[in-house]
Amino acid sequence: MPSGPASATNGAPKPGGKLRQYRIALVVGTRPEAIKLSPIAHALADLGEPPGLFVTGQHPGLELADHRLESFPAVSLGCPGQPDPMLHADLVRAAMLRILATNQPELLIVQGDTSSALGGALAASEFGMALAHVEAGLRTYDPNLPWPEEENRVAIDRMSNLLFAPTSGNAANLRREQLSGRIHVTGNSGIDALAALIGPLPSKPPRRWLPRRQFKLLVTCHRRENWSAGLEGLAEALLELVDHRLSADVILPPNPGVTERMHRLLGGRGGISLIPPLSHAATISAMRAADLVLSDSGGMQEEAPALGVPLLVLRDKTERPEGLTMGSMELVGTDRDRIVEAVGRLRSDRRLLREMARPSMPFGDGRSAPRIAQACLAYVEEMAALRASRRA
């Protein structure tokens, strides 16, 4: 069995986990990866296989304890996010290669489509290590929307031995590409994280939308393709909307450049509050308290249907069409007039708004992490048996 990393461990394995070096490791770089990988780390620990963590540093302020990950042995790679995501992926790859040269787990798990996930996948593949991709098969089929995420997830799926597709639609995408990895339809572990916060899902939306009451928007916008014209269109729309008995809480992203731009566009305007990044629990509370959410976030597209919160997606394409099919969300992009029209239409037609707020679970039942953990463990055991039979 390979030994775990010698450097920078923070905390002992979870009580109940076996006291041994880990065979499975997870790559964690950003807030959404921590949110979605935490249930999987705990599900592995529950099976007696606590994993190790490679923390890339992409989001430098990421606190493992905020995501219940502090009890797992962790190596810090010291690779903060870069303006050029390809450079960042390469830095992560190089840092991982240095560690894997002496300490190799048997299976590396990466999640989603970040440059941390891509860097980890490239390192695993260079070492001939087994690789599992959580959240496989999401596609817009447009390499620019979103960039670089669409390219990252396609590349990671091609390298992976285990492909954990959240939905049957995602699995169908993978089958069409005739990839060599094994496909499992598991649900999205982001829904597990949501259930851990608020209890059984789907949750009942609080009844609201009384006529004449002030209408409250919750807004997030951080995708790279929205950094210039997109943020301007959104800001113009919000400035127009708040003149009409409507308020907007805008949650700022961890990215300082985007935050600075939002302050310039919207700072000091009545009816608009600019809020620093929130904890996951506080974000979910804010979503539930809003009449309507406007966001380009991927995770919030998954959370909104389960919470029964209507969502306008500030993007032209989505890799999560399931939310559109369920009627919980609508694509509006970042054009000023389109946003103003959509908010106005929903605000004046409460029946439409209530229909969008009908809770549904297109992204999983909140029990994907145990499925993923079991499949990972079975794969590791299978590979070990294969190696043993070759030695015999």
Ligand X SMILES: CC(=O)NC1[C@@H](OP(=O)(O)OP(=O)(O)OC[C@H]2O[C@@H](n3ccc(=O)[nH]c3=O)[C@H](O)[C@@H]2O)O[C@H](CO)[C@@H](O)[C@@H]1O
Our CB check for ligand X shows the closer of 191 and 342 to be 191
Task: List, as one string, the DSSP characters of 98-151.
Answer: HHHTT---SEEEEETT-HHHHHHHHHHHHHT-EEEEESTT---S-TTTTTTHHH
The window from 5-13, 38-46, 113-121, 353-361 that contacts ligand X (CB under 6 A) reads 113-121
Least distance to ligand X, CB of residue 59, Å: 9
Provide the mask over 256-285, with x wherever binding to ligand X is found by CB under 6 A and - wherever it is not.
Answer: ---------------------xx-x--x--
Q: Is 331 in the site for ligand X (CB under 6 A)?
A: no
Q: Is residue 33 a contact point for ligand X (CB under 6 A)?
A: yes
State the Cα torsion 286-288-290-296 to the nearest 10°.
Answer: 70
Q: Is 174 in the site for ligand X (CB under 6 A)?
A: no
* H or E segment to which residue 322 belongs: helix 322-325
Query: Of 251 and 373, which has the nearer Cβ to ligand X?
Result: 251
Residue 32 is a binding residue for ligand X (CB under 6 A): yes
- Of the candidate residues 56, 114, 186, 334, the single one contacting ligand X (CB under 6 A): 114
Residue from the set 4, 13, 52, 146 that interacts with ligand X by CB under 6 A: 146
298 contacts ligand X (rule: CB under 6 A) = yes
Site for ligand X in 68-107 (CB under 6 A): none
CA contacts within 13 A on the Cβ side of 114: 28
From the list 155, 116, 117, the residue with the least C-alpha distance to 134 is 117
CA dist 242 → 267, 344, 392 (Å): 13, 11, 73
Which residue, 4 or 159, is less far from ligand X as judged by CB? Answer: 159
Where does this chain touch ligand X (CB under 6 A) — which range of 70-78, 111-119, 203-211, 371-379? 111-119
3-state helix, strand, coil in the chain (%, to 5): 45, 15, 40
Long-range pairs of 16-23 with CB within 8 A, sequence gap ≥ 24:
16/45, 16/46, 16/48, 17/45, 17/48, 17/49, 17/50, 18/48, 18/49, 18/50, 21/52, 22/49, 22/50, 22/51, 22/52, 22/73, 22/105, 23/49, 23/105, 23/106, 23/107, 23/380
Please report whether residue 297 would count as binding ligand X according to CB under 6 A: yes
User: From the list 149, 249, 291, 322, which residue makes contact with ligand X (rule: CB under 6 A)?
Assistant: 149
Residue 262 Cβ, how far from ligand X at the closest point, in Å? 13
Per CB under 6 A, does 192 bind ligand X?
Answer: no
Token couple for 226: 């929205």
Among 251, 307, 339, 353, binds ligand X (CB under 6 A): 251
Closest to ligand X by CB, 205 or 277: 277
Alpha helices, H only, 113-255: 115-127, 149-159, 168-176, 189-198, 229-241
Among 38, 56, 71, 111, binds ligand X (CB under 6 A): 111
Q: Which stretch binds ligand X (CB under 6 A): 20-28, 30-38, 240-248, 381-389?
A: 30-38
Residues that bind ligand X (CB under 6 A): 30-33, 35-36, 111-114, 117, 135, 146, 149, 190, 220, 251, 277-278, 280, 283, 297-300, 303
